Amino acid sequence: MSSPVRHYVGGEFDASGDPFPLVDPVHGRTVGQVPSAPAELVDRAVRAAREALRGPWGSWSPADRSRALHRIADGIERRFEEFVAAECADTGKPRELASTVDIPRAVANFRAYGDLLAARSEQAWHTETADGRGALNYTVRKPLGVVAVISPWNLPLLLLTWKVAPALAMGNTVVAKPSELTPATACLLAEVTAEAGLPAGVFNLVHGPGANAAGQWLTEHPGVDAIAFTGESGTGSTIMRAAAARLAPVSFELGGKNAGLVFADADLEQAVAGTVRSAFTHSGQVCLCTERLYVERSVFAEFAARLGDEARRLSGYGPMISAAHRDKVLGHLSKAAADGEVLAGGGAPRFGDDRDGGFWVEPTVLTGLAEDHPAVREEIFGPVVHLAPFDTEEEAIALANSGPYGLAATVWTGDVGRAHRVAPALDVGVAWVNTWNLRDLRTPFGGVKASGIGREGGDHSLDFFSEPMNVCVKL
């Protein structure tokens, strides 16, 4: 990123706080510094957001806010290449991925919620209210207030805007904290919100780690009315304890150990190609990626051979986000290699150039591990998928539903009846049939069990970021 990483509080940029290094994951080099927000700055950000609620922002109509969201979308589009470059620099992901998924989706998030808000406003004149007993009842939706938005490093702008857009749509103010590993596009977004004419304090941005730093101080702050978080399940538990002290509502999209089911009647070519996407997109660093794949025994050998071949041929993937994360993934692979079989990958690639200093892991296909093995039970969040056979539909469902997580699943079958039997039987928030990560932004998105609380998307997000209030008028 050409410009320095800064906080954005009350309409002003600020670089206060002790700096920590920003590392390029492709080459492993330090390329900049990120200021870690002191507690005083986090407090100032929350107070600025509170003041903005009482200021001009509170008088903006839904139509005004809808137009502002579209101006933000326009601003991201005008600076599209700058956003792509910043996202690639922070995450190491291929340009093709950032330019076709991350940045376009951020634009779509603001446009979608701008349109949904406008549609709601057009319908607001008609409400079924009379109760027939001498009173008129109607419902108004009011903003929650100051919302803390904490977003992860894997899809920095996409997941930040997925929460910021509906929060602003419903009239809230926001204090955002992106991952300390990927701060660049959040800084650009702060600039765009200012260009779009948002009043000072409506969108605020602080940087820093979580524990004993900006993340903890923000989630524990008594002036924060709600928390929206995407990240690791253990961190979600910590944030939930902080929110519980003041009964603040939370929306969590957490970890996953996602399963895929491949039945013998599936189009194997389609299933292999789909699994390459679902297992290895962004080097497996997507919460929706498939890490466990169960294949009907009669086609298991053929499917495993094909998937292994495709994994070995795969190129154009990116690195792990950090040295610590790479080492975690390689630790899982080392243990898995000792206890099972590696069909493809299994280590760190060597390029013979300066990328050898980066944080790379080969696309890896495993098999032969017990269901209670850590590589099968624990979220690895890398380019790793484990294959195991099954014999019956009932067994496949039971295997997919085992474990503490329940975010997403894939079902590959040529039998439409089976598709409609199996998909709803899976303990997940979203199940894809003969595809993966096909998203309609109006649909509910989230997980069950350790994979999350609540639903995002469409009206689900607008409802979370607002409070329904009943008004009763005696006739």
Per-residue pLDDT of the chain (475 residues; tens, 9 = 90+): 457 899 999 999 999 999 999 999 999 999 999 999 999 999 999 999 999 999 999 999 999 999 999 999 999 999 999 999 999 999 999 999 999 999 999 999 999 999 999 998 766 555 555 566 778 888 889 999 999 999 999 999 999 999 999 999 999 999 999 999 999 999 999 999 999 999 999 999 999 999 999 999 999 999 999 999 999 999 999 999 999 999 999 999 999 999 999 999 999 999 999 999 999 999 999 999 999 999 999 999 999 999 999 999 999 999 999 999 999 999 999 999 999 999 999 999 999 999 999 999 999 999 999 999 999 999 999 999 999 999 999 999 999 999 999 999 999 999 999 999 999 999 999 999 999 999 999 999 999 999 999 999 999 999 999 999 999 888 8
Residues 405 and 322 both lie in one domain: yes
- The answer to whether residue 329 sits within a structural domain is yes
How far apart are alpha carbons 425 and 345 in whole angstroms? 33
Residues 406 and 433 both lie in one domain: yes
Residues 236 and 283 both lie in one domain: no
- The answer to whether residue 416 sits within a structural domain is yes
- The answer to whether residue 130 sits within a structural domain is yes
Closest CA to 345 of 369, 362, 368: 362
The C-alpha angle with vertex 279 and arms to 456 and 393, in degrees rounded to 5, equals 85
List phi, psi (to 5°) of 86. -65, -40
| pLDDT computed for residue 136 by the predictor | 84
Residues 274 and 245 both lie in one domain: no
The Cβ of residue 138 has, within 10 Å, a number of other Cβ atoms equal to: 14
| pLDDT computed for residue 1 by the predictor | 44
Q: How far is CA 12 from CA 15, 79, 385, in A?
A: 10, 20, 45
| pLDDT computed for residue 124 by the predictor | 53
End-to-end CA distance of the chain, in Å?
62
Burial of 308 (0-12, 13-18, 19+ CB in 10 A): buried
Strand order in the sheet with 364-367: 341-344, 364-367, 384-390, 290-296, 258-262, 408-412, 430-433
Residues 264 and 250 both lie in one domain: no
Residues 291 and 188 both lie in one domain: no
- CATH number for the domain that contains residue 300: 3.40.309.10
- The answer to whether residue 390 sits within a structural domain is yes
How far apart are alpha carbons 289 and 405 in whole angstroms? 13
Catalytic entry in 82, 87, 253, 291: 253
List phi, psi (to 5°) of 233. -65, -40
The Cβ of residue 96 has, within 10 Å, a number of other Cβ atoms equal to: 11
Q: Count the domains in the chain.
A: 2
Token digits of residue 243: 């929110």
Residues 216 and 345 both lie in one domain: no
- CATH number for the domain that contains residue 86: 3.40.605.10
| pLDDT computed for residue 418 by the predictor | 98
Closest CA to 79 of 3, 13, 10, 24: 3
How far apart are alpha carbons 233 and 215 in whole angstroms? 15
The boundaries of the domain holding residue 432 are 258-440
253 is catalytic: yes
3-state helix, strand, coil in the chain (%, to 5): 45, 20, 35
Token digits of residue 428: 């997940």
Write the DSSP string, 39-107: HHHHHHHHHHHHHHHHSGGGG--HHHHHHHHHHHHHHHHHTHHHHHHHHHHHH---HHHIIIIIHHHHH
Q: Provide CB contacts within 8 A for 197, sequence distance 6+.
A: 68, 71
Closest CA to 288 of 92, 152, 193: 152
Q: Provide CB contacts within 8 A for 48, sequence distance 6+.
A: 9, 10, 11, 200, 201, 204
Residues 242 and 94 both lie in one domain: yes
- The answer to whether residue 70 sits within a structural domain is yes
| Torsion over CA: 131, 136, 138, 144 (sign) | negative
- The answer to whether residue 2 sits within a structural domain is no
Give the three-class secondary structure for 392: coil
- The answer to whether residue 446 sits within a structural domain is no
- The answer to whether residue 434 sits within a structural domain is yes
| pLDDT computed for residue 139 by the predictor | 87
How far apart are alpha carbons 160 and 268 in whole angstroms? 36
